[in-house]
Structure 1
């Protein structure tokens, strides 16, 4: 597996004064292949010069509410060969008074971020900012040093860098702040949807916490008249159950988990999007792979194997999605119907021709391996 390097930064704080201190806490990581770090650092340097940051840092707080300038900068950032992974915590949904204490709040986030990052990227070289008031990232470093098991995550490393010397940490800061302008109730504006659409090509996964299994909000915000909450709930629960139970200890499982998380991302965040194209899926999954995905492997070992395990995945010529309606399920059944029935008919014709020629002496389906197929054709 390719060595992956990530640079992380935070947005928000542990305050529960939502109207003045913000409703969300966000940790954004910028992820790339380790051998591309130098090239990317140079590319970010060119973006800095182009947008008149001079020798200063590219910081979200520096751009602030100059939304059009943020759009111009992000328009160049999304062309870089990197992906974004973020944990987005809605502090309003955290239950229990314990979260109002910084120690408890950080402990919850530490466990959450650690589990998600190192399970998704088993060989991860992660850097966080040591400069300024990034007290959470330094707390996270201490947590990783205490809990990180080298036997489980062989080759993983964790370190700190100064954002003044790391252009990619500055990009992590920009993305974290931009996500704040998309989701934080104190930052949302008429530009929020434009920011979301703009960064979509480089977003690999946005993990929202706490997880919400209540579908009433989803039903209210849904724009599809064919939406069936029963189908949507069954689909989501099966996917989330698989993700929670699987450890991602081999490449196939990692690919499956990342694929399902990408489907959840599009269903949860970009609810207007219908199907995700295979090309777009590959662009995301290949970020953490040594060798690019092959379509045959993806169809059989990732999608096919998940379906064998009872995961509901709808497909069409447009790509894949989580089924949320009868229409979504029928598209998969129709696809199978177009393949299965003609093939079964061809086998039947071949079988009958040989039986006729041999006076019923030779039945090609007498082989024990074809017992189920023989029963199906006989019926």
Structure 2
């Protein structure tokens, strides 16, 4: 059994020049049996680096890079490993993520899936202290969504950073990673920070990332997942995005819609639909005028399907199909609409043929040739 302590660095602001380009969540991971010993060892680090009884916080060291290096050199001697999720906010811009609610929702799904996919048996503790805005939101999210039957043995807890030395280490590591990757904090020391941290880094997971089937396949956590269906869906989407040029609004909307589906498919731990409302909130950010439902359904979704793109839909919204259930959901949805409509057209056709003595055939028009074939069969 392992225990992890997580903390954040960054914010939801999209003012990259002044508020930072990246959002980082770092987790300090250790064997559960060693937590007490590690807490004592961190006390020694605190004393050695003149934190006295105060917290070891990255913000307290700030731009004093030599002091940061000295502290890091002691931290890497602890029996811990570091796993971090690093989000480049610049790559999310223009898709609705400048709304705090959307930004946190995306990160909550992402962090939850990545942590419990990577560490299926995990006791996770986060800081409940004061302005730890994102972690407080993440706490609410986990309490609402965590399913022990999915991630066997996993627990989630809250600790005050003043009472947990290892959460303070998570804070310091998250802040240091910001000094490596954030454009507002990079310096000539950045590569040295990366080198010093390397021995205890288990993985840095960067988002968003290039989406390919191999990565898609490896990140799956849905028990009903079908590699065959997922591969067909992903290949067709990637081919469309690579082939098409966004030189008119319709193509731009289609490409952004598909990229959004890929982005959210990556962060949901189970096969879930994205609501039309949420899609509109994102796509409308890059348009002069807001989307209309009729335009979205016919010119974006409908046209993409006409081009062979597999998109599953239900009353809950849209998604990339990755299970048989996703495909059946779309077929059932169509079946409920198509068959009654065909029956109504047939009844109208027969009624007018009967009343006109077979002289007025509403389906005789060349435009309805395929429809007449279907009804006659």
User: Quick one: distance in 1 between partners of 2:136 and 2:111?
Assistant: 13
TM-score (ref. length: structure 1): 0.57
Determine whether 1:23 maps to 2:21.
yes
Residue 135 of structure 1: CA displacement? 1.2
- Alignment: residue pair count: 224
Matches within 5 A, 1:266-345: none
1:240 is matched with which residue?
215
The Cα offsets for residues 24-73 of structure 1, whole Å up to 9 and x where unpaired, read as: 00000000010000010001010111111110100000000000000000
Correspondence 1:355-370 to 2 at 5 A: none
Q: 1:130 aligns with which of 128, 131, 156?
A: 128
Matched, 1:152 2:127: no
Give the Cα separation in 1 of the matches to 2:77 and 2:28.
Answer: 13
The residue aligned with 2:172 is 174
Q: Which of 185, 188, 208 is the equivalent residue of 2:186? A: 188
Matched residues in 2 for 1:76 and 1:132: separation? 28
Gaps of 5+ in 2: 224-377
Which residue number in structure 2 is paired with residue 315 of structure 1?
none
Task: Measure the CA separation in 1 of the matches of 2:93 and 2:66.
Answer: 37
Give the secondary-structure state (helix, strand or coil) at the position aligned to 2:186.
Answer: coil
Q: CA deviation at 1:247?
A: 6.2
Residue 211 of structure 1 and its aligned partner are, at CA, apart by 0.8
Contact 1:4 1:125 in 2 (8 A): yes
CA contact (8 A) 1:10 1:137 kept: yes
How far the C-alpha of 1:150 sits from its partner, in A, is: 1.2
Query: Scaled by the length of structure 2, what TM-score is found?
Result: 0.58
> Is the 2:117–2:221 Cα contact (8 Å) retained in structure 1?
no
How far has the Cα of 1:244 moved from its partner? 2.6
What's the C-alpha RMSD, in Å, of the aligned pairs?
1.6
Alignment match, 1:306: none
Deviation of the 1:176 alpha carbon:
0.3
Kept after mapping to 2: 8 A contact 1:125/1:156: yes
Change (3 A) 1:139 1:246: closer
Query: 2:220, 2:95 → 1: CA distance?
Result: 29
Structure 1 residue 122, shift from structure 2 partner: 1.0
Q: Please identify, of 238-247 and 162-171, the stretch whose mean Cα deviation from structure 2 is larger.
A: 238-247
The 3 A distance-change label for structure 1 pair 183 and 162 is same
Q: How far apart are 1:166 and its partner, in Å?
A: 0.4
For 2:138, the equivalent position in structure 1 comes to 140
Look up the SS of the partner of 2:25 in the other structure: strand
Contact 1:119 1:247 in 2 (8 A): no
Map of 2:99 onto structure 1: 101
Q: Is the 8 A contact 1:45 1:167 kept in 2?
A: yes
Asked if structure 1 preserves the Cα contact closer than 8 Å seen for 2:10 and 2:20, the reply is yes
1:85·1:203 contact (CA, 8 Å) conserved in 2?
Answer: yes
Structure 2 match to 1:119: 117
What is the distance in 1 between the residues matched to 2:107 and 2:26?
13
Report the CA distance between 1:238 and its aligned residue.
Answer: 6.1
The alpha-carbon deviation at position 154 of structure 1 amounts to 2.3
